[in-house]
């Protein structure tokens, strides 16, 4: 029993105090205990502390009282676990406990508390002021003081922070330490400095103005404050300016400003430059040390800061003309800046220095930057360089890419005329001679050979290979070719039953079961997920479970699912044979001769249930989907041979295939296969006979689809966050519900409804693989997907980039939908999509499919809606394309000019980005301003950057007779077109000797 204030305290009573949450009684009970008495109760207190959270009532004061008991009774071993957080609990009982006890571990405990982000700084300050714990010297004490604004409450409307600090008195000396330590990643001054009386800036200003803190010292200390976090560092810059230093005070602190020029924080550099400008305007700059310090600021990415640095140099040159050469040598670093404006300012200084005569050192400094100089500044710098080199010739520099070898006439003549004409070689030769413009290359995709031996796909050869590749595919599958090869492998090799089948496939079955259990599979028609089910059905020799009809009927993936279902029905019946739709060549093409052979295989096979399998021609079985898919993948090559070989194929299937190959067959009774056959025969042709027999079948049936589109700027909120602008594309003729049937995949592709939120790379590639001859519908869907995520970062759940994949096949024509998908990709914030867009545009320019002239109307139409086209993003993206070669720069300039001409009035606010890039492009390519751009430029009546650039563009006159750039560009274009023509010619000759390789067994 222990006497506490006249009453005895037992461990049981202590427990009662704690469990009742009676802090006052507890504190009173512990107040006069000596250390030995406290030790006796320590065990009980520690036990209570350990059990403090048993009561889950959030409002309970039991945990707080348990903490008090530990602080009042226990040793450091237990006390170190007590944290007194800043919020929610009264500090008075804690203070009384610690004051009464003054434990030997108190300083250690305070240090531990300060290390905690939620430290109760007012309590600690009170302990310090009362002398209960020692004065704190640690950085964390200062950090917590700054973070908590010295314990001042934001809601205390009566007392400003300055008054609060004055009341404390002693704390004023501690305030200087705020200037001395680095707060690291802690955001101490976020939102400070807005003049609010509770802000640190107001408080420090008030104390400096009243003389309680030295203003002089604060002026210097704010410049030497060490902060690595940008907003903390910016706070001190703002404080410095708020102290309103005079010019003389700034001059005295020049060295500090110069030191800040090396700061890694751009805002701090900008602040230092502003201060140095004030000093420069007073003519009191210390030039030499300034020149040694300011170089890195000229290379800052932020144009404003680099411009300010150049301005300081201009003032330095004005103040001290005798040091102009040294100033110019420093300014040479600014020639590497991406902005023509910064380069222009630096070039002026260099020109002034060059007027003084030769200077090899300066010339060498400029030489190092020549590769980065923009076209508008280059001639001036080159002229200055010539003067600096004592009159040597002007250097001939250009875009870094090596000029292509000029194609000889003999080389061109050697190409068969058919391919030369189709590849646009002749018109390019004319353009090279100056006999006309060079339009983008348009060609009939069915007139060019697609099947080369280099593009042939090797079918899966053995059962072991099938198991290995299926094992890899169930983990990750992103390639549409591999997907089809696997389906074909299952179709052909699943019947090869081996004695060790179960043992060999047990790991795969085990894995696929786990993946299906763990995955998000319910309701998804993603091809990769469905493939796992297919593998399981093969290994368990069970057909796939029926897929809900509404799912298969909703989208084109339903068609893919039905193909897999048909295959799974066949697997347990040991009916192995080739998959009709498996591509024989990359790009999802099927050699027509191969398809004829495959169909014949099935028709000839004597199997039970023949009507179901061998009777593809009956169209009464699920394999009809495989047949339809196969028709849509027929390559244009070898059709005549295939047609000749297909004469004996039976039934409607044989007739449909012959029709697809160009045969003269009457349209049959099943619309699905005949639509596919018609589209395979002529992707862009019209088939009135289909309408006569079956009525209106929708887009890409009897008539090829065309597209109408419009962009909407609205933001649609969803649970996934704000969506971007929307693109609405409508196929013409429009898709009606009665056009949608499971065997009409093109109708689903043309439905073009809401973009997917969750998709996979395989999904996008499978979409493009449905109809390789005309991926317009796939591009249209892709354009909608990309625009819906226009301003969102990359996402693994919603990939969009792979929509562009078909464009990397140089034989995919640049249709309107292809251009639209690419145009929106180039605007995307998603670095992956934008990057692939850049790659695609580079490829299109290189091989002739884009010369830039059709793009203006697309961007003009997109830009007619606010929020859709950000011209700064477009210009930056196109700049990456322009860097590749003279041809690319020429094409990009045409895109920019076309876009400008297509913009509607009033011009957008960010037009200056476009004008600046166009200005550079026209100078670099020595082209005049196209007349169609004049109206919009003449309509600019405002002042500022846009007006200045508009004026420059209107006044632009290319040097007469300067066609070096154009010639270089046309030579590259010619090389690209000749390469294309040669490739086609080579393919044609190779295919004449190639034998069809049957993979049916």
Nearest residue to 813 via CA among 760, 842, 850, 854: 850
Q: What contacts 560, CB < 8 A, 6 or more positions away?
A: 525, 527, 530, 766
Give CA–CA dist 858/871, Å, rounded.
14
Cβ atoms of 829 and 791 closer than 8 Å: yes
Q: Give least dist CB 371 to other proteins, A.
A: 5
Residue 55 or 471: which CB sits closer to other proteins? 471
Asked whether position 498 contacts other proteins by CB under 8 A, the answer is: no
Asked whether position 304 contacts other proteins by CB under 8 A, the answer is: no
Cβ atoms of 707 and 816 closer than 8 Å: yes
Asked whether position 902 contacts other proteins by CB under 8 A, the answer is: no
Give CA–CA dist 456/461, Å, rounded.
15
Burial class (CB in 10 A: 0-12, 13-18, 19+), 313: buried
Structure tokens at 560: 């893919």
Among 40, 47, 883, 986, interactor with other proteins by CB under 8 A: 883
Among 651, 662, 835, 860, interactor with other proteins by CB under 8 A: 835
Stretch that binds other proteins, among 115-123, 222-230, 783-791, 984-992 (CB under 8 A): 222-230
Stretch that binds other proteins, among 348-356, 447-455, 763-771, 876-884 (CB under 8 A): 876-884
Q: Give least dist CB 293 to other proteins, A.
A: 6
Asked whether position 402 contacts other proteins by CB under 8 A, the answer is: yes
Nearest residue to 348 via CA among 371, 315, 322: 315
Stretch that binds other proteins, among 96-104, 236-244, 441-449, 833-841 (CB under 8 A): 833-841
Burial class (CB in 10 A: 0-12, 13-18, 19+), 979: middle
3 state SS for 294-363: HHHHHHCCCHHHHHHHHHHHHHHHHHCHHHHHHHHHHHHHHHHCCCHHHHHHHHHHHHHHHCCCCCHHHH
Asked whether position 382 contacts other proteins by CB under 8 A, the answer is: no
Q: What are phi and psi of 85, to 5 degrees?
A: -70, 160
Residue 470 or 649: which CB sits closer to other proteins? 470
Per-residue x/- track, 644-683, other proteins (CB under 8 A): ----------------------------------------
Asked whether position 338 contacts other proteins by CB under 8 A, the answer is: yes
Residue 264 or 866: which CB sits closer to other proteins? 264
Give CA–CA dist 111/517, Å, rounded.
51
The SS3 call for residue 103 is coil
Residue 156 or 465: which CB sits closer to other proteins? 465
Asked whether position 379 contacts other proteins by CB under 8 A, the answer is: no
Give CA–CA dist 577/467, Å, rounded.
17
Q: Give least dist CB 332 to other proteins, A.
A: 12
Residue 399 or 580: which CB sits closer to other proteins? 399
Among 20, 504, 716, 951, interactor with other proteins by CB under 8 A: 504
Residues 178-207 that bind other proteins (CB under 8 A): 181-182, 184
Residue 370 or 693: which CB sits closer to other proteins? 370
Asked whether position 321 contacts other proteins by CB under 8 A, the answer is: no
Burial 661-696 (b: 16+ CB within 10 A, else e): bebebebbebbbbbbbbbbbbebbeebeebeebbee
Burial class (CB in 10 A: 0-12, 13-18, 19+), 592: buried
Rg (CA), the chain: 39
Q: Give least dist CB 511 to other proteins, A.
A: 5
Asked whether position 475 contacts other proteins by CB under 8 A, the answer is: yes
Q: Give least dist CB 769 to other proteins, A.
A: 18
Among 22, 231, 299, 867, interactor with other proteins by CB under 8 A: 299
Give CA–CA dist 404/887, Å, rounded.
11
Q: Give least dist CB 262 to other proteins, A.
A: 6
| Strand 726-732 to 721-722 pairing | unpaired
Asked whether position 302 contacts other proteins by CB under 8 A, the answer is: no
Asked whether position 535 contacts other proteins by CB under 8 A, the answer is: no
Residues 785-824 that bind other proteins (CB under 8 A): 793-796, 799, 801, 808
Give CA–CA dist 999/1001, Å, rounded.
6
- Provide the angle, in degrees to the nearest 10, between the axes of the packed helices 340-354 and 324-331: 150
Stretch that binds other proteins, among 41-49, 226-234, 343-351, 897-905 (CB under 8 A): 226-234
Q: What contacts 121, CB < 8 A, 6 or more positions away?
A: 86, 114, 144, 145, 147, 148, 150, 151
Among 83, 115, 190, 368, interactor with other proteins by CB under 8 A: 368
Among 227, 273, 323, 889, interactor with other proteins by CB under 8 A: 227
Residue 708's DSSP bridge partners are 730
Asked whether position 783 contacts other proteins by CB under 8 A, the answer is: no
Q: Give least dist CB 326 to other proteins, A.
A: 13
Number of residues that bind other proteins (CB under 8 A): 61
Cβ atoms of 790 and 825 closer than 8 Å: no
Q: Give least dist CB 225 to other proteins, A.
A: 10
Q: Give least dist CB 147 to other proteins, A.
A: 16
Q: Which helix (H) or strand (E) holds 493?
A: helix 480-493
Cβ atoms of 253 and 272 closer than 8 Å: no
Q: Give least dist CB 771 to other proteins, A.
A: 23
Q: Which residues bind other proteins (CB under 8 A)?
A: 181-182, 184, 226-228, 259, 262-264, 289, 292-293, 296, 299, 301, 333, 336, 338, 368-372, 399-402, 467-468, 471-472, 474-476, 503-504, 506-508, 510-511, 761, 793-796, 799, 801, 808, 830-832, 835-836, 838-839, 880, 883-885
């Amino acid at each position: 029993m222990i006497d506490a204030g006249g009453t005895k305290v037992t461990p049981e009573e202590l427990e009662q105090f704690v469990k009742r949450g009676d802090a006052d009684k507890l504190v009173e009970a512990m107040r006069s205990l000596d250390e030995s008495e406290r030790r006796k109760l320590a065990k009980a207190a520690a036990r209570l502390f350990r059990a403090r959270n048993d009561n889950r009532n959030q409002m309970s004061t039991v945990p707080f009282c348990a903490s008090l008991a530990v602080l009042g009774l226990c040793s450091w071993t237990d006390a170190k676990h007590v944290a007194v957080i800043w919020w929610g609990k009264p500090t008075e009982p804690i203070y009384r406990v610690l004051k009464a006890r003054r434990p030997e571990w108190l300083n250690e405990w305070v240090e531990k508390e300060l290390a905690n982000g939620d430290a109760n700084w007012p309590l600690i300050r009170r302990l310090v002021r009362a002398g209960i714990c020692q004065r704190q010297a640690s950085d964390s004490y200062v950090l917590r003081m700054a973070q908590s604004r010295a314990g001042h409450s934001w809601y205390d409307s009566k007392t400003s922070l300055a008054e609060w600090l004055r009341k404390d008195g002693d704390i004023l000396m501690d305030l200087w330490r705020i200037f001395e330590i680095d707060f690291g990643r802690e955001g101490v001054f976020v939102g400070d400095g807005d003049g609010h009386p509770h802000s640190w800036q107001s408080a420090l200003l008030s104390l400096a103005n009243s003389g309680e803190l030295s203003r002089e010292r604060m002026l210097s200390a704010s410049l030497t404050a060490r902060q690595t976090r940008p907003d903390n560092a910016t706070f001190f810059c703002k404080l410095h300016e708020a102290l309103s230093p005079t010019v003389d005070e700034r001059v005295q602190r020049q060295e500090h400003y110069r030191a800040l020029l090396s700061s890694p924080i751009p805002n701090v550099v900008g602040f230092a430059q502003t201060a140095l400008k004030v000093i420069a305007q007073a003519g009191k700059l210390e030039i030499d040390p300034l020149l040694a310090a300011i170089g890195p600021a000229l290379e800052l990415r932020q144009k404003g800061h680099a411009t300010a640095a150049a301005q300081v140099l201009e003032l330095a040159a004005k103040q001290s003309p005798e040091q102009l050469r040294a100033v110019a040598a420093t300014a040479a670093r600014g020639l590497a800046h991406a902005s023509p404006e910064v380069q222009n300012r630096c070039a002026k200084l260099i020109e002034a220095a060059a007027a003084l005569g030769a200077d090899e050192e300066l010339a060498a400094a400029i030489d190092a930057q020549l590769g980065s100089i923009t076209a508008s500044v280059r001639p001036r710098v080159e002229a200055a360089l010539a003067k600096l080199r004592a009159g040597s010739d002007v250097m001939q520099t250009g875009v870094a890419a090596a000029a292509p070898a000029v194609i000889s006439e003999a080389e061109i003549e050697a190409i068969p005329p058919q391919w030369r004409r189709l590849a646009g070689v002749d018109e390019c030769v004319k353009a090279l001679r100056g006999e006309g413009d060079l339009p983008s290359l348009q060609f009939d995709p069915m007139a060019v050979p697609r099947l080369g031996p280099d593009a042939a796909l090797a079918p899966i050869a053995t059962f072991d290979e099938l198991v290995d590749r299926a094992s890899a595919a169930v983990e990750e599958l992103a390639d549409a070719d591999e997907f089809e090869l696997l389906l074909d492998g299952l179709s052909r090799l699943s019947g090869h039953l081996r004695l060790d089948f179960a043992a060999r496939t047990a790991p795969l079955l085990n894995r696929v079961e786990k993946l299906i259990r763990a995955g998000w599979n319910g309701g998804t028609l993603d091809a990769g997920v469905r493939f796992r089910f297919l593998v399981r059905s093969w290994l368990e020799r069970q057909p796939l479970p029926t897929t809900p009809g509404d799912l298969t009927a909703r989208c084109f993936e339903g068609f893919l699912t039905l193909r897999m279902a048909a295959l799974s029905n066949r697997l347990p019946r040991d009916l192995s044979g080739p998959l009709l739709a498996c591509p024989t060549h990359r790009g999802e093409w099927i050699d027509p001769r191969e398809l004829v052979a495959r169909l014949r295989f099935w028709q000839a096979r004597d199997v039970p249930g023949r009507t179901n399998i061998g009777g593809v021609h009956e169209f009464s079985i699920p394999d009809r989907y495989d047949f339809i898919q196969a028709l849509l993948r027929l390559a244009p090559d070898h059709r005549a041979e295939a047609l000749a070989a297909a004469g004996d194929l039976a039934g409607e299937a044989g007739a449909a295939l012959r029709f697809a190959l160009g045969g003269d067959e009457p349209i049959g009774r099943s619309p699905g296969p005949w639509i596919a056959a018609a589209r395979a025969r002529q992707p862009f042709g019209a088939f009135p006979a289909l309408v006569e027999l079956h009525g209106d079948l929708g887009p890409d049936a009897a008539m090829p689809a065309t597209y109408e589109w419009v962009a909407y700027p609205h933001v649609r909120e969803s649970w996934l966050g704000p969506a971007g602008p929307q693109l609405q594309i409508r196929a013409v003729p429009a898709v009606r519900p009665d056009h949608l049937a499971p065997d009409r995949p093109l109708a689903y592709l043309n439905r073009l409804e809401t973009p997917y939120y969750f998709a996979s790379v395989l999904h996008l590639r499978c979409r493009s693989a449905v109809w390789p001859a005309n991926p317009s519908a796939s591009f249209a869907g892709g354009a909608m997907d990309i625009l819906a995520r226009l301003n969102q970062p990359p996402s693994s759940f919603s990939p969009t980039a792979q929509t562009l994949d078909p464009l990397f096949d140089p034989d995919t024509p640049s249709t309107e939908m292809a251009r639209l998908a690419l145009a929106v990709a180039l605007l995307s914030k998603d670095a992956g999509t934008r990057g692939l867009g850049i790659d695609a545009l580079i490829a299109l320019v290189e091989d002739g499919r884009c010369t830039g002239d059709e793009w203006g109307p697309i961007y003009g139409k997109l830009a007619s809606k606010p929020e859709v086209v950000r011209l700064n993003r477009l210009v930056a993206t196109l700049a990456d394309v322009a860097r590749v070669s003279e041809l690319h720069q020429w094409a990009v300039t045409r895109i920019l000019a076309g876009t400008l001409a297509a913009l509607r009035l009033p011009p957008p606010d960010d037009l200056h980005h476009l004008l600046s890039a166009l200005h550079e492009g026209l100078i670099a390519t020595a082209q005049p301003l196209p007349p169609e751009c004049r109206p919009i430029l003449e309509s600019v009546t405002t002042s500022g950057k846009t007006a200045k650039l508009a004026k420059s563009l209107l006044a632009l006159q290319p040097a007469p007779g300067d066609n070096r750039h154009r010639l270089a560009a046309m030579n590259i274009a010619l090389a690209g077109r000749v390469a294309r023509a040669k490739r086609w010619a080579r393919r044609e000759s190779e295919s004449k000797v190639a034998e069809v390789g049957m993979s049916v067994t």
